[in-house]
Chain A
């Protein structure tokens, strides 16, 4: 069966510091991968998606970037965090256009 992992589970970072969140998927190959953000009391916003190694598409202009160095690894990064980057970050995977399955999420607080 397939599993998706995210770490860390929670993170508190000062403004201006760098960020690296990691997502890995097990039990499947060549998945589509997604990064979402959920601000407090809001719905989920799609940030990035990837259909293969090194292929990243951005949904909204922002302070964040994504990379996919390996088939089942998806990384969300920032060089300098802003207060507005606080939120709940979710990684998801799918087989092509099929159902997306979400990871447990990383809660980020920027102070």
Chain B
């Protein structure tokens, strides 16, 4: 019930940009796209989120297509510490269940030297 599709794994060379894709073709108009990452044996770390417009913060950029059916998380200069599982999540609101997130399997990003 994750509502998103991500490739299971990706590689990236250190210092290069990492572009992680996500498909969310059934997204509704008021649903946000969230990105988290999880480094092994740690809790998930919030990265960025967006609704329609592209977003950028100190960690990453989020590019959302005009039809909102897909998005790309960009890590502009990947480092070895960016090796993690990256989760793309569509936030679902149902009645009183505020802010619930559904996590899928994510993408294992491996940054190599």
**Chain A interfacial positions (CB closer than 8 Å to B):** 32, 34, 36, 42-46, 49, 51, 57, 88, 90, 92, 94, 96-105, 107
User: Which residue, of A88, A90, A100, A101, has the highest number of chain B Cβ atoms within 10 A?
Assistant: A100
Tell me what chain A mostly uses at the interface: helix, strand, loop, or mixed.
strand
The residues in B between 30 and 56 inclusive whose CB is less than 8 angstroms from any CB of A are 34, 36, 41-46, 49
Contact B101 A100 (CB under 8 A): yes
Cross-chain pair count, CB within 8 angstroms: 56
Complex: how many Å from CA A3 to CA B2? Answer: 27
Interface residues on B, range: 20 to 34
**B residues bordering A, Cβ < 8 Å?**
2, 34, 36, 41-46, 49, 87, 91, 93, 96-106
